[in-house]
Amino acid sequence: MSTTEQIQDLTKQEYKWGFITSVEEDRLPPGLNEDVIRAIAQKKGEPEFMLEWRLKAYRYWASLEQKHQEPKWANVQFPPIDYQALSYYSAPKQKKELKSLEEVDPEILATYDKLGIPLHEQKLLAGVAVDAVFDSVSVATTFKAKLAEAGVIFCSFSEAVKNHPDLVKKYLGSVVPYTDNFYAALNSAVFSDGSFVYVPKGVRCPMELSTYFRINAQNTGQFERTLIIADEGAYVSYLEGCTAPVRDENQLHAAVVELIAHDNATIKYSTVQNWYPGDKEGKGGIYNFVTKRGKCLGKNSKISWTQVETGSAITWKYPSCILQGENSVGEFYSVALTNNFQQADTGTKMIHIGKNTKSTIVSKGISAGHGQNTYRGQVKILKGAQGARNYTQCDSLLIGDKCGAHTFPYIEVRNASARMEHEASTSKIGEDQIFYLQQRGISKEEAVSMIINGFCKTVFRELPMEFAVEAQKLLSISLEGSVG
Amino acid sequence: MSLLEIKNLHASVNGNEILKGIDLTINPGEVHSIMGPNGSGKSTLAGVLARREAYVVTQGQIMFNGKDLLEMPAEEVACEGLFLAFQYPVEIPGISNAYFLRTALNAIRKYRGEEELDAMDFLPLLREKMRLLEMDEKFLNRAVNEGFSGGEKKRNEIVQMAVLEPRLGVLDETDSGLDIDALRIVANGVNSMRNKGRSFLVVTHYQRLLNYIVPDFVHVLVNGRIVKSGGPELALELEEKGYSWTEPELARR
């Protein structure tokens, strides 16, 4: 078999995690209007301030929608979305409050098992608290006691609204206001759940916090909302991983993540995104339109984004940092892979406001099949950002001759003392490299995976150990041998 | 039984016939050298043996270790014990030399049904071979061939060969770009591996290397055919008279 054939063979691999769980659902009929917003708020038993905020967001979104003001600048193509055809709330039916894992629907637990989500003893021993989001409602949260001991709040967004309304009220929308963009407005109006983290002053969160998201119900847009606050001197590392089952029609996923770091606080946010990418003809797959932003509010604060994006039919995502506090640091490490007919337009924004702020951007784009991969990054040095520094490295790897890599760096400097560095490269994975490894006894698939992992090393290095292993596997599975 | 038996080998690259009927037999423990002018097909022969895809065999057969080599993909040929020291070793960014070589060794061990080596067992072995080739330990953790000088790359090839312990080492112009010290180091490395069971095919343009790695047989390749074979003295004769001296022999075919 020739290389090309072998590769075609391997790229034809079906999405390994495609299955549907049948769980009794509680869902709203399709459509979006003020009544739907009210119904969501009511179902969730939310206080008045939340409903008001949702309604304001909805009205803003509706005004944009009416004028068809969806963002159109991204380098991606898809047919218009009929927002009235989607259902905006879906939750597994629960008869009563759950006290332990044993009470969770065994079907749901079985789904987690298939995904290899370690909700059980082993994971507890491994020291990872998992807040599992099954569709839109958190069904199980573990390790709460140990976190509570440290004073860390880690719960579903709904619980946070109930139990910590002051914190929610203070920070919700403070980094990503509902007027930020079309999808952020939509999310603000209809978000059903998500995660909430608060790490109090001087506390180093005793474990990595981990959340697994999974879209399950058919025809349901998934709207997650995550809010993480690290108070003065606090440290937290948060891991987010996703897989989703096979669907024929496209699904919209519009999440919002807000991070706030106070003086001397550090937030590390890692994502492995593996939503269903569509089949090899480009049918189906998730539209992943996400707004992620962190604010380095305090001096010496640090926010670090690391993402490994292998899934979704379309990715539209720019995890960003607002570097407001003096000496604050923003980092963005990204691996984005597009295979078959996947499209990704992803990158970051680093907004330097405070003095001596520093940012690092490392982006690795991999395109295979007919995949289109765009890096879009903005580095903005404002007037007051004396002594600001940025380093950007942006590398693209092409596999085959039908894919594309695109780079759009925007650099805006308003302070002459700023120091900027930008490096970029585009390369093709070489037959020579593959042959070299094969000549040493390494199989073609392993050779490709090795070369890709080498290419991504500077990003993987930033991931927590176990996540890095998972990410490497994911990359190999998504790509195996797609070399022509 | 011979280790390698090439019969009437014809091979093309991009539709051009480069090898036009090669016959060559190598027995265990023998060192053969292929010499020839530029473009005679030396590197193509090395590439065909390693099963490089671009080289298409149009006629003939190759038996290696009792098996049909042309039926095997490149990695299987490697696992069967054929090692090619590349003329232009390739860089693999982000993958350390040590990790790469351990993966390779374990792939081969697995093929042979042997137990895989963990890092603890592997590193002392690699260090030993690196000392043999006078390579600094810093190369352990450097990415494969990345930022290596020409000579370092060639030495790294021989380190790999020493670790993987092939049945047949094919050296493709390993001497090109080497200064005299590096040449001596590389040759020592190769000589230390010579034994009754292991064979070498040394492909070179110049006789110089053969002062250090003394072959049992020398073959002259011109225009895709072996036009003359002999002992080590043939290399010296070529050095003196040049390749044009062999051309009448070619004309007679």
Cβ-nearest to A442 among B75, B90, B94: B75
* Cα–Cα distance, A224 to A219 (Å, whole number): 16
Cβ-nearest to B74 among A438, A450, A454: A438
Choose the weakest-confidence range: A99-103, A205-209, B26-30.
Answer: A99-103
Sign of the four-CA dihedral A446, A450, A452, A456: positive
Cβ-nearest to B90 among A436, A443, A455: A436
The chain B residue lying nearest A1, using CA atoms, is B73
Locate A383 and state its tokens. 């007037």
Interval A243-268: pLDDT, tens: 555 454 558 889 999 999 999 999 99
Minimal C-alpha gap between A363 and chain B (Å):
15
Give residue A482's pLDDT band: very low, low, confident or very high (50, 70, 90).
low
Choose the weakest-confidence range: A246-255, B36-45, B205-214.
Answer: A246-255
Question: Can you give the pLDDT at residue A213?
Answer: 45
Interval A269-313: pLDDT, tens: 998 887 778 877 878 788 889 999 999 999 999 999 999 888 888
B43, B48, B49, B75: best to mutate for the A interface, most A CBs within 10 A = B75
Based on its alpha-carbon atoms, the radius of gyration of chain A, rounded to whole angstroms, reads: 22
pLDDT value at B189 more than 50: yes
Cβ-nearest to A443 among B50, B75, B93: B75
Q: Provide mean pLDDT across the span A456-481.
A: 77
Query: What does the mean pLDDT of chain B come to?
Result: 92
Question: Can you give the pLDDT at residue A244?
Answer: 52
pLDDT value at A476 more than 80: no
Q: Chain B interface residues facing chain A, Cβ-Cβ under 8 Å?
A: 50, 52-54, 73-75, 77-79, 83-84, 86, 89-95, 100-101, 103-105, 107-108, 111, 143, 160, 164
Instruction: Identify all chain B residues contacting A443, using CB atoms and an 8 Å cutoff.
Output: 75, 107
pTM of the full structure = 0.80
Based on its alpha-carbon atoms, the radius of gyration of chain B, rounded to whole angstroms, reads: 18
Interval B122-151: pLDDT, tens: 999 999 999 988 899 888 889 999 999 888
Q: Provide mean pLDDT across the span A94-104.
A: 53
Interval A309-348: pLDDT, tens: 888 888 999 999 999 999 999 999 999 988 888 898 999 9
Question: Can you give the pLDDT at residue A312?
Answer: 84
Instruction: Identify all chain A residues contacting B73, using CB atoms and an 8 Å cutoff.
Output: 438, 444
Q: Which residues contact A135 (CB under 8 A, 6 or more apart)?
A: A25, A90, A91, A92, A214, A215, A216, A217, A220, A222
Minimal C-alpha gap between A447 and chain B (Å):
10
Instruction: Identify all chain A residues contacting B146, using CB atoms and an 8 Å cutoff.
Output: none
* Cα–Cα distance, A20 to A215 (Å, whole number): 10
Question: Can you give the pLDDT at residue A248?
Answer: 45
Q: Between the CA of residue A446 and those of A434, B52, B75, B103, what are the distances in Å?
A: 9, 17, 11, 10
By the 8 A CB rule, do A479 and A6 touch?
no
Instruction: Identify all chain A residues contacting B111, using CB atoms and an 8 Å cutoff.
Output: 441
Choose the weakest-confidence range: A120-129, A196-205, A243-252.
Answer: A120-129
pLDDT value at B248 more than 50: yes
Say yes or no for a CB contact (<8 Å) between A441 and B107.
yes
A410 touches chain B (CB under 8 A): no
By the 8 A CB rule, do A327 and A209 touch?
no
A436, A443, A453, A459: best to mutate for the B interface, most B CBs within 10 A = A436
Interval A364-409: pLDDT, tens: 999 888 888 999 999 999 999 999 999 999 999 988 888 888 999 9
Question: Can you give the pLDDT at residue A121?
Answer: 36
Instruction: Quickly count: other Cβ atoms within 10 Å of residue B73's Cβ.
Output: 16
Complex ipTM tops 0.90: yes
Choose the weakest-confidence range: A192-196, A212-216, A455-459.
Answer: A212-216
Cβ-nearest to B93 among A435, A436, A455: A455
Say yes or no for a CB contact (<8 Å) between A450 and B160.
no
Instruction: Identify all chain A residues contacting B69, using CB atoms and an 8 Å cutoff.
Output: none
